[in-house]
Structures are given as C-alpha cells and as structure tokens.
Amino acid sequence: MRTGSWAISATWFREGRTGMETFGYLSVPPALLQAVLDNPYEGMVIIDNQGIIRHFSKSNEPYYGLTTDEALGRHVMDVIPTSRLPEVVRTGRAQLGDAVTIEGRQVIINRYPIKQGGEVIGAVAKMIFHDLKAFIELKHKIRELESTLKRYRSEIRDLNQSRYSFDDIIGISEKLSQAKEMARRLAASDSPVLLTGESGTGKELFAHAIHHASPRRAHPFIRVNCASIPGELFESELFGYEAGAFTGAMKSGKLGKFELAHKGTIFLDEIGELSLGLQAKLLRVLQDREIEPLGSLRPKRIDFRLIAATNRDIEERVKEGYFRKDLFYRVNVVSIRLPALREIKEDIPILASQFIQKLRNRMPMSAPEMTGEVMELLLTYDWPGNIREFENVIERALALCTGSRITAKELPETLLKVRSVGNQSPVYDARPLHLAVLDAGKEQLIAALQRSGGNRTKAAALLNIHRTTLHYRLKKYGISTKKAVQREIAAESTIDPTLCA
C-alpha cells in the first residue's frame, strides 16, 4: 500500500509509522480499505494537521492536473491553492455542501475535521458530486418529497380541523343566545369546558365552534367518543403505543388521540360513559399534561385544550359513585348547558327553513313550503330527540314530498299523535320526561332493527351511529341477544318503521 495513505493514517498520525503492522485491530483488509478510499465516486483529499497531503484519490487527477504520487507528501496549498482544508484544521468545524469550480466544472465538496481524543489531527475533503447537474436533480427530488409531505400534512390537518363556527348555530331564542355568548367568551381562554344537555342538542357543534374561535384554531381538533371505544383499547387509542408494544401492534407504532391534539383541542364526547378505571387514567393526563404511550420508557409532554360533553347528570353520577369527584372538578371548570328543542320552540321556524335550504342542495327539487298545519304540529311536538330528530323529520318530509308544499301526510306518525282534538288542548305524553325520552330511543332502535331484519350493522347505519354504540344501547334497553331482539320486534310490531327514516 502507498506510504501515507488513509489506510495507515490513524497510526501514522499518532506514531509516524508507514506500515500496516498496528492497523490489524480494525479488522479491515488494507486492500479493501484502499479500494474504498480510491472509489471513483468520491474524490478524496486527506491532510494532516500540518497541511501535508496524506491521501489523494486517483479520481482527483483529471481535476487538478497531477498524479497521486505527485500530490502525496506536498502541502495542500501548493497543490490546491484555493483549498480550505487548512481552515478546517484550524477551526475544527465542518464545511458541508460547498459549491466550487475546478477546471471549469462545478462540483460539490464536503470538508470535515479528523479528531482524536478531542484534538484535530487532520482534515478530509470529499468531492461528493462531480457534476452539479446530479446535485440539482437530487435537490429537485428532495423538493418534490418535501412538497408531497407538506400536502399530506395539510390533508391530515384538514381532517382534524373544526368544521363549524358560531355562525352555524342557528336560533334567536334567549336560552340558545345565552349559551352561544358564554361559549364565545370562553373560546379565547384555555379553561376546560363541559357541555351538558340532552342527546341531539348540538354539543359537538358547540365544541367545533369553540375551537374555531380559539387561538388554537390553526391546530388539530380531535374528536373522541368515549362510549364507542372498548375499554381494552381505550389506553392505546388515547395515549398511543411504541413499535412492538404488544402482539399485533403496527411496526411503526401509533400516535394516540392526545398526541394528535398537541397544541390543539381534544373533544371528549359522552365522557359520562367512562368506567372508573378509565377515569383514573384520564385524570392523570389532565393533571400532569403528560401521556405515556404503551411500551414507552418515558412520558411525553402534551399541550392541549379540553372540551368534554355529556348527556348525563354528572353530579348525580358522582353522588352515586359512578363518576370520580376529582375528575368532575377537573373537567367542570366551566359548564355550558345547551337547551332542549322543546325549551326553544321559537327557533323551530328558523331551523325548519335552514334545514330545508341545506337538504334541498342534496335533492333534485325546489324548496317546498310548509302548510300551517305542519308548522303547528312541529311547534306542538316535544322533540325527545331534539335537533337531530327535527332534522331527520324535515329530511323525511322532503324525500316524501311530491308537490310544492309539505303536508301532514309527509310527517311521521309520532308527530300526528299530538294533534289538537277539537278545541281541547294538544294531547301530550303524560309520562315523566326521562321515561318518555328513554322509550323514544328504544322505539327508534326497535324500528331500525325491524327495518334491517335484525342485522345490527345495518341497524347502526340506519341510526347513523357506530356499531359499538348500538351494542351499548341494546344492553341499555335490555335487548342483549338475537332472540331478544326478535321478541322485541314482535312485541313492538305496531311501531311506525319510519321513526328511523
């Protein structure tokens, strides 16, 4: 091997030797190492700390106009007057991606120091691109990759952004206006918000609007339905996991909902359905603002704003021992109660007009008018399903309407049951409200099962809910087996199947 080559330089610099007798401990054959140093793809120049050239690749010869043997042992400034290697030796700092012109050719050179025990003992210059065109092509590829990555990030951000603002909350009633005004004021703060109210009153709509009006609106809005996540998957879904954390885990690991919500807002819907064990895990995250993904050795700090929602009476569940008092205090910093539709009936005409206009865009028809009888029925009905049920009724009426006016025959039987009888007052359901709401929900569930022939997946699709939520409601109403479902359908055969329309 040539005297002074890099294959012996680690020993040469230290002891001034020129042989390979002390180099064997690296277990690299000298011929192989020399071939690496002389590869035609990287023109390499190595100097010692005195600036003397100790290695000069053959691929450098056409660029500098001299042979390797002529360059070895000479000072680098004598061979390459513009070399900046002595500067690298002096400063100990690398110089990367430097574009220089050699013999009329533009090339890219990396320079970095060689250190031993903290002392600079030499420097290396590598000509990594012999042709600047190759470098430019690589630069274009990198830009394309960056553009693709930016596009994907933008798409993910759009998926996790709020879709509604306060302008989408329609109504002029005093109770709704008060709820909107309080939510607007709270949007600017970082305080946790608890949205309460019956199912279908627009809690998720309010959560979207609060995030949209907050300083965090440019960051993710992550929605979590606490009732739809099985208990055994709750921790991995909310906190994520590292690669190989458990059998079946993705090789790349998975980000949890809290980590996805970093710098943004996380919306925990139906928080009242969490088990006590899961409540304890959630409380720790809310207190410490840290998560510990499954399989991780250290916690991660997370910056998020919490919005929670429930249709349960959380205070009552705290008294009954079903909800932790400390978690209640953590999520209930500020509470906003959303009114039921029967409390804000003055908003019904406005809502009806809004829904007709919105749904008309999805149907090949002009916007029909409502007869006075239809509006009276809408104002008389108590709406146990609230705005969600109201919109379904309007959609059903539009789908069945064949003329220019919506009449009573396009309404479901449940609304027709509360017609005024002569000069008497409208006939209302005399049952306690909570029982009426429960029975209405059960009737909708049975109607969906009837229409789907007992198929739970199809029933969930008809009700526009997750299959897990359907299982929860089956259990809630005591319909736990297929045979029981069939008995319920048979017993309730008089239920109007259009309840789910």
CATH number of the domain where residue 447 is located? 1.10.10
For residue 164, which phi and psi values (nearest 5 degrees)? -130, 150
Comparing 338 with 127, the larger pLDDT belongs to 338
pLDDT at residue 82, as a whole number: 85
**CA distance to 174, 176, 339, 372, 382, per residue, from 343 (Å):** 10, 9, 6, 21, 9
- Weakest mean pLDDT among 126-135, 172-181, 262-271: 126-135
pLDDT of 27: 59
The domain in which residue 380 lies consists of 342-416
332 and 356 together in one domain: no
Residue 329 confidence (pLDDT) above 60: yes
Q: What is the mean pLDDT of residues 69-98?
A: 90
**Alpha helices, DSSP H, located in 311-412:** 314-320, 325-331, 348-360, 372-380, 386-400
Q: What pLDDT score does 304 carry?
A: 94
Based on the domain organization, do 272 and 360 belong to the same domain? no
Residues 206 and 330 in one domain: yes
**End-to-end distance of the chain based on CA atoms, in angstroms?**
87
* pLDDT over threshold 70, residue 487: no
- What's the total number of domains in the chain? 4
Q: Which of 265-274, 286-295, 458-467 is least confident? A: 458-467
Out of 416, 442, 466, pick the residue that ends a domain: 416
For the segment 422-433, the average pLDDT, to the nearest whole number, is 42
Query: Predicted confidence band at 66 (pLDDT cuts at 50, 70, 90)?
Result: confident
Q: Give the pLDDT score at 174.
A: 92
Helix-helix angle 203-212:174-187, to 10 degrees: 40
Pair 287, 241 in one domain: yes
User: 422 versus 484: which is more confidently predicted?
Assistant: 484
> Which of the two residues, 409 and 359, has the higher pLDDT score?
409
Average pLDDT, the chain: 78
Q: Which residue has the higher pLDDT, 410 or 105?
A: 410
pLDDT of amino acid 190: 92
Does residue 311 fall inside a structural domain?
A: yes
**Is residue 200 included in any domain, yes or no?**
yes
Q: Is the pLDDT of residue 440 over 90?
A: no
* Count of Cβ atoms closer than 10 Å to residue 145 Cβ: 10
Picking from 94, 48, 53, the residue whose alpha carbon sits closest to that of residue 72 is 53
* Residue at which a domain ends, from 337, 359, 381: 337
pLDDT in tens, 331-384: 999 999 999 999 999 999 999 988 888 887 766 666 788 888 888 889 989 999
Residue 155 domain-assigned (yes or no)? no
pTM for the full predicted model: 0.56
User: Per the domain annotation, does 216 fall within a domain?
Assistant: yes
Instruction: For residues 475 and 455, give the distance between their C-alpha atoms in angstroms, rounded to a whole number.
Output: 16
Q: Are residues 348 and 326 in the same domain?
A: no
Higher pLDDT, 219 or 162: 219
Same-domain status, 306 and 409: no
